[in-house]
Chain A
């Protein structure tokens, strides 16, 4: 019942009159003309126009490129049955980049001829040059938001078609949009995310339980319908994908109309039956998932829960993908300042994953280790997400020691450590730590030990989930184990030096 006012506010906000100048925004990262056509049909039925990022005029060139690439792949698979598919794909990718200069296999080069190879490379470079000229997708979306705002248009529907790991979006050319980019866009151009009434997420894993929460609560809290896939999404070349667009958008429109007419939320059982009656929603291979006014409908039972193995596989994969954040030797990404971005998504995935005990593919002896991995990672990730508070609390607590250390470093001619004032980049801090540690190793090994002892907790950002029996659970003992007290993730928790 608490949702009632919210739902009523939603449908008032997204009622037909409010959408007189609404547009359908499509982020079409693989330039699919079939999906675009389906989106255009639905927009026409709503009396709206479609805006596409990247621009529609690139579709012809890119689809020609993809068609030639796919034809070449198929031809090579047939002509070289002893070659593995990954090797063929690698060869095609090499030819696309280098043309006849590619020299991975003399036999293959001979069969293709230099003219054909150069033609494919030329087309590839043409597409890449166009993409470079348009700028990153992040920039293109920001420009599009400004353009729509200037015209007084609002986004009524947002369709996102891309490859996805659930939170980061990729295309088959150079198009990329990370979860961090999305979080930044949400911050800078909130109208793109706050106004859509319907959102389609056509990538894989976007609507698995943990990812779904991020899309719903962090990105599109106002949408009456989010629809997509809990597991693998169908290929854009599969008509299922275009039909899914048609069926879910027309269903969302129909349900919104019925809700507006009734003046109250719809019966959950009815909503459930409407979505489940859609042919593209209950497919065996790509069951749909819809979140209609906070009601989850899954195309098949247990879409979220039956694949515990996959959840753990994804967690390990995501951990590797996010290495840029927590590599202690070579980090190059900072946590976002607005709530976590893909670090938050990873945290949610970690905490939302099924018990390792239920993952059949994990060997028995690794199940305990997997749970240990979950604990360790979430301890680290939470401190990374709140890096900005953590560093500030650290520098307040150790104010005197940091001042003395900087004086000693100056004395050694090494210079000072970066000022941890709550805005210092994690990357810059880790690099400075590594550099300082190496330089002190030669200049003053005694000072190196002190330096390490002081900064190690901030460098490792370990959690404090266990303590030795009998050990005090205080700040000092936590820091002495190179861990950061949990409460330091809060802003200005430490108000004076120790």
Chain B
């Protein structure tokens, strides 16, 4: 399969006088297989999950459970609202979070933000 792909790329390599760049997933292909005249090869860097991504449900609920009384405050929220609350708690200032969730006490919000930073 790998050889087949290299063969497919050969015509491209021949017209790549100005500098063709090929980036490959190193777990699948070896960059050297794509080397040729005027071709710059490289590895696609591995992807990492963002800190402010939408959480997995279990991680999210574990974080909420770290703050006494918070789970009860959030009982009426559905999955979507809980996710948004989680991401906001990770990314917004406490002052803004307080305005957005006035019914949740400041202490709980601050504690949640602290727990999320520790994670």
Interface membership of A378, Cβ < 8 A = yes
The answer to whether A469 touches B48 (Cβ under 8 A) is yes
Contact A468:B46 (CB < 8 A) given known A351-B57, A378-B54, A486-B54: yes
The answer to whether A465 touches B78 (Cβ under 8 A) is no
Interface membership of A487, Cβ < 8 A = yes
**Chain B residues whose C-beta falls within 8 Å of the C-beta of A218 in the assembled complex:** 78
Produce 1/0 per residue, A213-253, CB < 8 A to B: 11001100100000000000000000000000000000000
The answer to whether B48 touches A466 (Cβ under 8 A) is yes
Number of residues of chain B lying within 8 A (CB) of chain A: 23
**Chain A residues whose C-beta falls within 8 Å of the C-beta of B3 in the assembled complex:** none
Produce 1/0 per residue, A347-382, CB < 8 A to B: 110111000000000000000000000010011001
The answer to whether B50 touches A467 (Cβ under 8 A) is yes
With both chains docked as a complex, state the minimum distance between the C-beta of A466 and any C-beta of chain B, in angstroms.
4
Interface membership of B52, Cβ < 8 A = yes
The answer to whether B47 touches A463 (Cβ under 8 A) is no
Which of B52, B76, B79, B84 interacts with A352 by CB under 8 Å?
B79
CA distance A133 to B17 in the complex (A): 71
Which of B46, B75, B80 interacts with A385 by CB under 8 Å?
B80
Q: Which of chain B's residues 40-56 have a Cβ closer than 8 Å to chain A?
A: 44-54
CA distance A239 to B46 in the complex (A): 59
Interface membership of B83, Cβ < 8 A = yes
> What residues make up the interface of A, taking CB atoms closer than 8 Å to B?
2, 210, 213-214, 217-218, 221, 294, 340, 344, 347-348, 350-352, 375, 378-379, 382, 385, 463-471, 473, 486-487, 489
With both chains docked as a complex, state the minimum distance between the C-beta of B88 and any C-beta of chain A, in angstroms.
8
**Chain B residues whose C-beta falls within 8 Å of the C-beta of A487 in the assembled complex:** 91
Known: A344-B80, A486-B52. 9 other contacts (CB 8 A): A210-B79, A351-B83, A378-B83, A465-B53, A466-B50, A469-B45, A471-B45, A486-B87, A489-B84
Interface membership of B72, Cβ < 8 A = yes
A/B interface sample: 20 pairs, CB < 8 A: A2-B72, A210-B78, A213-B78, A213-B79, A221-B76, A344-B78, A344-B80, A348-B79, A351-B57, A351-B80, A465-B53, A465-B54, A466-B53, A467-B47, A468-B45, A468-B47, A469-B48, A471-B45, A486-B53, A486-B87
